[in-house]
Amino acid sequence: MRVLITGGAGFIGSHLSERLLNEGHEVICLDNFFTGRKENIAHLLTNPMFELLRHDVIEPVLVEVDRIYNLACPASPVHYQHNPVKTIKTSVSGALNMLGLAKRVGARILQASTSEVYGNPLVHPQTEEYWGNANPIGPRSCYDEGKRCAESLMFAYHAQNAVDIKVVRIFNTYGPRMLEHDGRVVSNFIVQALKGEDITVYGDGSQTRSFCYIDDLVNGLVAMMDSEDFTGPVNLGNPNEFTVMQLAEAVLRLTGSSSKVIYKNLPQDDPLQRQPDISLAAKKLNWAPTIELDEGLVKTIEYFSSRPGLGSKAGT
Which residues belong to the active site?
143
CA distance 110 to 221: 8
Q: In terms of Cα–Cα distance, which of 220, 214, 235 is closest to 291?
A: 214
- Rounded-to-integer distance, Cα 267 and Cα 243, Å: 16
Contact 92, 149 (CB under 8 A): yes
Residue 168's contacts (CB-CB under 8 Å, 6 or more residues apart) are 110, 111, 112, 113, 220, 221, 224, 232, 233, 234, 235, 236
Between the two ends of the chain, the Cα-to-Cα distance in Å is: 50
Q: Which of 188, 207, 206, 174 is nearest to 291 (CA)?
A: 174
Helix axes 244-255, 293-305, angle to 10 degrees: 60
Cβ atoms of 57 and 90 within 8 Å: the answer is yes
Q: Dihedral sign for Cα 4, 7, 9, 12, please.
A: negative
Q: For 109-173, where are the alpha helices, taking DSSP H only?
A: 141-161
- DSSP H/E element including 12: helix 11-22
- Cα 71 to Cα 68: distance, rounded to the nearest angstrom: 9
**CA 175, 181, 183 angle in degrees (round to 5)?**
80
